[in-house]
Structure 1
Amino acid sequence: MATETTTLPRRLLARRLVELREAAKLKSDDAAKLAEIGRQTLWRLENGRTSEVKKPIIRALCRVYEVGEDDVLGLLWLADESRKDGWWQSYSDAIFNVDLFLSLEQAASRISSFQLTLLPGLAQTADYRRAMARNYRPALRAEEIERHIELLAKRQARLTDSTNPLTLEVWLSEAALRHRVGGASVMAAQARHLYELSALPNVSIRVVPLTVEGYLGLETGSFVLLEFPRHLNPSLTQPPVVYIESYAGALYLDKPTELELYQAALSAIEEVALDEPQSRALLQKIEQEYQA
C-alpha cells in the first residue's frame, strides 16, 4: 500500500509563485526565460506538480520577480516543507510571513467550519473580534487590533463578491453562542449578525443545541474543511484541506483517509444540528436573552 503524503506545502508554494509572477507583470514563458529554466519546469512548479523543489530555481525566480528577503526565506521554507510526509505549522518557528490559512481561504470555493467554543472569523462582528484580540498574549497595541479588524473586513468581503464566489457553511455548538465574548451587548449584536448572515444565499448557519447529549463533534474538536474550484483538467483540481488550529500552531490535513474522516464527521454533525429555520429561531432567542 502506497504511503500517503501531503501536497499542501508545494500547493502553497505554487500559488505564491504565481502571485509573484503576476505582480511582476510577466508571462510564464518570459519568466522561465529570464530565470533560465525550462517552461515545463515553471509550469510544474506553478501547478504544484513536482515533489522535487530545487532551491536554486526558487532563488532564480525570486531574482526575476525582485522579491524581498522575507519572501525568499518563506518560499525556501515551503520548499523544505514540501519534502515532509505530514505538516504542522508552529507559529513560534514558522518564518513564512504570509498567513497560510488566509491564502487557502481566499482560494477556496466552499468552506465548512465547525466550531465548539468560538465563532469563525468569516462570521464575526468587528466588536467580537476586538474583544477576542484584547485577550491575546502577548498583548496587542490598539493599532494592531485595528489591523486585525481591517483584515477581517477584507476576508468577509468574499461573502458578497460575485467575481470570486464563496459558499460558507457554519456549524456551531450552542456553547459558542453562550460564551460572553465582549459582554452581553457584543453578543446580542453578534447573534443578530449571524441571523442576517444566514439570509445570504451562499451562507448556511446550523447550530447544535446544548441539549444534544453527545455527538462526534465533541471528539473531533473544531475544524475547517476547505474545498477548491474544479479545474477544466481534473488532474489539476486541488484536493480539499482540513485546517485545525490550536494555541501553539496549526495542523493541515490533505491525505485522502484524513479527508474522509472529517467529511464523515461533518455528516454526523449535520444529523444532530438544528435545521436552518430552527437555527435562525435560536439565534433570535439568544439575541433577545442578551438584550434582557
Structure 2
Amino acid sequence: MPEIESTVPRRQLGRYLRELRLQSGMTIAESAELIERGSSTLQRLEKGTADRIRVLDVEALCRIYGSDETTSAALIGLAKQAKVKSWWHEFGDLIPENFDVYMGLEAAARKFTSYHVELVPGLLQTSNYTRALVQVGVPDESAADHERRVQMRVQRQVLITRRTRPAIVDVVLHESVLRRVIGNSRVMAVQLRHLADLSTKPNITIRILPFSAGVPSGKLTGQFIVLDFGSDSKTAEPRVVYAPSFIGDMYLEKENDVRRYDQAYDAIQQAALDAVSSRNLLRQVAREFEGER
C-alpha cells in the first residue's frame, strides 16, 4: 500500500466524516447522492483509503451534515493536510486550536504505551486534578466551560474502565509527576491513590521511573504515547506515536520512527520500578501529601 494512503490525517478525516453522517441519520448512499459522488467513493473517504481527496467534497459533506464552523474548518484542514505523506503537526491556520485532533485517534486505539515526565496522562486523571489544570490553563473561560472540559475528560476515560474490551494501558511515570503539586496536597493525595487503585486492574500497568534511574535511553525523549489500533480488522492501521509539545504536536507512523520510540520505551521500562514497587511508592507519596494537610 502506498504510504500516502495510510497517513494519520486521512484516517482522522474519515472517522470524523463518518461520525457526522451517523449523527445526521443519513446513509452513505444518501450522502453520496447529495454531493453527486458514488457511494464507493464516499465509503473509501470514510475508511481513510481514498486515492484522492477533494476539498470541495469535504466542504459539501460538512454542509449537508450541518457541521459547526469549527469542525468544518478542522475537517477541511485535514483534507488539505492529507495530501502530504508525513504529518508534522504545527497546524498554523489549517485547523482551529480548539479542535482536538488527537481525540479521534484515542477513541480508536486498543492499546496505549506511554511515558510521562510532567503530568498524569489524561486517561488516568481524577476530576479534581483535571479541574486544577483547566483552571490554570484557560483562566478566561467560565466555570461552566471548565466543568465541560472536566466532564469531557471523564467521558474519555470510559475507554479503559468499560467492562467489555477495555483498552490496554502500559505507562511509565517519571517520579517528578508524583512530586509535582497540581491543585493542592489533597488533590495530589487522591490522584496518587487513584493511580495505585487503577494499577490493580488487569488492563492497566503503571510503573514509576525514580530520580535515581537517570536517563535510561541516553537521550531525553520527552513525553510520548504509542497508539496501537489492534489487528482484528481487515484494514489494520499502523501504530502511531503521538508526541505533544508546547507549540505543536507530532504524529509519527513510519516504521523506523515507531521502532525508535519502542526502543526508548523498553529502556525506560527496564529502569523503572516493577508494578508492585511502583504501587507502593504511589501510596507512600500519597500519605506524605495527606500529612501536609
Which residue number in structure 2 is paired with residue 46 of structure 1? 46
Instruction: Provide the secondary structure at the position in 1 that maps to 2:137.
Output: coil
Aligned CA distance change for structure 1 residues 66 and 255 (closer, same or farther; 3 Å): same
- Secondary structure of 1:207's partner? strand
Give runs of ≥4 in structure 1 deviating > 6 Å.
Answer: 2-6
SS of the residue 1:49 aligns to: coil
State the partner residue of 2:238: 239
TM-score by length of 2: 0.90
- The alpha-carbon distance between structure 1 residues 142 and 72, as it changes in their structure 2 partners (threshold 3 A), is closer
Cα pair 2:11 2:48 within 8 Å, conserved = yes
**TM-score of the superposition, structure 1-length normalised?**
0.90
Shift in alpha-carbon separation, 1:37–1:217, aligned structure 2, 3 A: farther
1:159 — aligned with what?
160
Determine the C-alpha separation between the residues in 1 that align with 2:258 and 2:264: 10
- The separation in 2 between residues aligned to 1:127 and 1:61, in whole angstroms, is 39
Superposed CA deviations along residues 227-252 of structure 1, whole A, max 9, x for unmatched, are 1132431xx11111111111222111
Counterpart Cα distance in 2 of 1:67 and 1:135: 30
Find the counterpart in structure 2 of residue 254 from structure 1: 253
Find the counterpart in structure 2 of residue 77 from structure 1: 77
Residue correspondence of structure 1 range 28-67 to structure 2 within 5 A: 28-67=28-67
Stretch of structure 1 that moved more, 155-164 or 114-123: 155-164
Deviation at 1:85, TM superposition (A): 3.5
CA distance in 2, matches of 1:51, 1:96: 28
- What is the CA deviation profile of residues 63-111 of structure 1, one whole-angstrom value per residue up to 9, with x for unaligned ones? 4433334333222111111112332334763327541111111111111
The alpha-carbon deviation at position 212 of structure 1 amounts to 0.9
Q: Does the C-alpha gap of structure 1 residues 33 and 231 become closer, same or farther in structure 2, counting only changes over 3 Å?
A: farther
1:202 lines up with 2:203 in the alignment: yes
**CA–CA distance in 1 between the matches of 2:5 and 2:268?**
27
Partner of 2:10: 10
Structure 2 residue 131 is the aligned partner of structure 1 residue 130: yes
Alpha-carbon shift at residue 166 of structure 1 (Å): 1.0
In the alignment, structure 1 segments of 5+ residues that lack a partner are: none
Query: How big is the shift at 1:52?
Result: 1.8
* Cα gap change, 1:117 to 1:73, in 2 (>3 Å): closer
User: Residues 220 and 81 (structure 1 numbering): CA distance in 2 closer, same or farther, change over 3 Å?
Assistant: same
Distance verdict in 2 for CA 1:139–1:66, change over 3 Å: closer
Quote the Cα distance in structure 2 between the aligned partners of 1:47 and 1:5. Answer: 10
Relative distance call for 1:162 and 1:187 in structure 2 (3 A) is: same
Change over 3 Å in CA distance of 1:264–1:118 after alignment to 2: same
Closer, same or farther: CA 61–3 of 1 in aligned 2, 3 Å: closer
Q: 1:70 to 1:249 in 2, by over 3 A?
A: same
* CA distance 1:12–1:181, change in 2 (3 Å): same
Q: 1:71 to 1:184 in 2, by over 3 A?
A: closer
What amino acid does structure 1 have at the position aligned with 2:46? E
Cα distance between partner residues in 2 of 1:217 and 1:146: 41
Answer whether contact 1:75 1:96 (CA < 8 A) is retained: no
Gaps of 5+ in 2: none
Deviates more, 1:24-33 or 1:257-266: 24-33
3-state secondary structure, aligned to 1:113: strand
Please report the RMSD computed on the Cα atoms of aligned residues, expressed in angstroms: 2.3
* Identical amino acids, percent of aligned pairs: 36
Q: CA deviation at 1:254?
A: 1.3
Match of 2:87 in 1: 87
